[in-house]
Amino acid sequence: MDYDVIIVGGGPAGLSAAVYARRANLKTAVIEKLTFGGIITTTDLIENYLGFPAISGADFGKAIQEHAMKYNPDMIQAEVKLVKDVDGGYEVQTDAGNFTTKTVIVASGAAPKKLGVPGESEYFGRGVSTCATCDGPFFAKKDVAVVGGGDSAVSEGLYLARLVNKIYLIHRRDRLRAEPILQQRFMSLSNVEFVWNSVVTKIEGDKKVNGVIVKNLLTGEEKELKVSAVFIYIGEVPQTGFVDVRKDDHGYIITDENMQTSKPGIFAAGDCRHSLTKQAIISAGEGALAAIAAQMYIEGRLKATQELANPSAPNRHSYGVRLGQTLRAYGKDFVLFAD
């Protein structure tokens, strides 16, 4: 085998796993197709990661990458195409070659979900964006739209509000779902107009974005908003198509409490995993646990979870499911995957 463990993904989960794997003296590779540090590197400001009261996403990504590299894992820039069963482990097939390994930790994260409306693909990169910190400065002193109501939409909206003339916050519900402290900051801004109970049905433009059509879900009324850019934050799609393990209906990987998947020797951590919420600090903890579990598996001290191997078995090991059942018992509403 080329490696003891191959980690697919170089964000907080993957780099945390790399630190723990190398400290256990496991021969380790981290394979990342885009940016080491993960998608969090595009975040303007992180305030809820213990030890970093306030740090930019770029600086945070640099810090965790440098920490992982201190232990000298192999850092491979490539896209994983397939994880294939072989004798004694797995073959990880990439566009830069194939590698064999005793174990795999899938920490591939999730990509921004698309609206799926006319004009979105046509004007992507010409006014349609999923990264305010990347593209926001291009629209200084102009009117823009932000679509979504969760943490990403509101935190990126806070960044944009410092640059643009006006923000139209378009949300399909009548309230935000972001962290309360973020909501308070955003609601206090004078250059934000809320477009509640509405969805974008079309993005218009002439070589670049010049407007959006929004539909009120309660009245059916449509109207045009003149904007120069549309920033989309309506959720994520897990990047898990390359591995054949048990997943939920959205494609998130189901694991037990030790991050084991339905296949022995394959573990998952971070935003690609079925869980209650997605946070960098949670991803880092899951990555550490996955690496410890992988070490124990290699040493024969960790048994595969038979329940997960049975597709018809309930996912009793999912914290989100257990919490959901508890909340139902008390008559509480809950959302596992909130936009």
In terms of C-beta density within 10 A (0-12 exposed, 13-18 middle, 19 or more buried), how is residue 144 classed? buried
CA dihedral for 310, 85, 319, 171, sign (positive or negative): negative
Which two tokens mark 290?
């996955």
d(CA 285, CA 270): 9
Instruction: Please report which residue ranges of 256-317 form alpha helices under DSSP H.
Output: 280-298, 306-309
Q: Catalytic annotation on 272? A: no
Phi, psi of 111 (to 5 degrees): -105, 155
Instruction: Please report which residue ranges of 132-218 form alpha helices under DSSP H.
Output: 132-135, 151-161, 180-187
d(CA 295, CA 229): 47
Query: Residues 4, 135, 151, 339: which is the catalytic one?
Result: 135
d(CA 133, CA 256): 36
Q: Catalytic annotation on 174? A: no
d(CA 97, CA 86): 16
Residue with tokens 């069963």: 85
Partner residues linked to 64 by β-bridges: none
Which two tokens mark 85?
């069963």
Query: Residues 131, 151, 256, 272: which is the catalytic one?
Result: 131
Query: Residues 85, 95, 134, 174: which is the catalytic one?
Result: 134
Report, in angstroms and rounded to the nearest whole number, the Rg of the chain calculated over CA atoms: 21
Q: Catalytic annotation on 134? A: yes
> Could you tell me if 211 and 227 are in contact, meaning their C-beta atoms sit under 8 angstroms apart?
yes
Q: Which residues does the annotation mark as catalytic? A: 131, 134-135
